[in-house]
Amino acid sequence: MAEEAKNTKKIILSGIQPTGVFTLGNYLGAVKSWKDLQEEYLCYYFIADLHSLTIHIDPAKRRAQTREAFALLLACGIDPEKSLVFVQSHNKCHAEMGWIMDCCSQFGELSRMTQFKDKSAKHPDNINAGLFTYPALMAGDILLYQADYVPVGADQTQHLEFTRDVATRFNHTYGEVFKLPEGYFPKAGARVMSLQDPTSKMSKSDTNPKATISILDDEKTILKKFKSAVTDSEAEVCYREGKDGINNLMTIYAAITHKTMEDITREFAGKGYGDFKTAVGEAVAEELRPIRERFAALMEDRAYLDEEMKKGAERAAKIASKTLTKVKKRVGLLLEK
Our answer to whether residue 224 is catalytic in this structure is no
Cα separation, 88 vs 85, whole angstroms: 10
For 130, what's the count of Cα atoms within 13 Å in the CB-facing half-sphere?
A: 11
Among this protein's residues, is 119 annotated catalytic?
A: yes
Exactly one of 9, 10, 179, 204 is catalytic; which is it?
204
Alpha helices in the chain (DSSP H): 24-26, 32-40, 59-75, 93-102, 107-111, 114-122, 129-144, 157-174, 219-227, 244-257, 261-267, 273-300, 302-331
Q: Among the options 201, 311, 326, 328, which is catalytic?
A: 201
Q: Give the C-alpha separation, 36 to 31, whole Å.
A: 9
Q: Which of 119, 225, 243, 277 is catalytic?
A: 119
Contact residues for 79 (Cβ-Cβ < 8 A; gap 6+): 38
- Clarify whether 204 is annotated catalytic: yes
Query: What phi and psi, each to the nearest 5 degrees, are found at residue 25?
Result: -65, -45
Q: Where are the alpha helices (DSSP H) in 211-300?
A: 219-227, 244-257, 261-267, 273-300
State the CB neighbour count (10 A cutoff) for residue 71: 23
Q: Is residue 176 within 8 Å of 232, Cβ to Cβ?
A: no
- Of 29, 28, 31, 12, whose CA–CA distance to 70 is shortest? 31
Catalytically active residues are 119, 201, 204
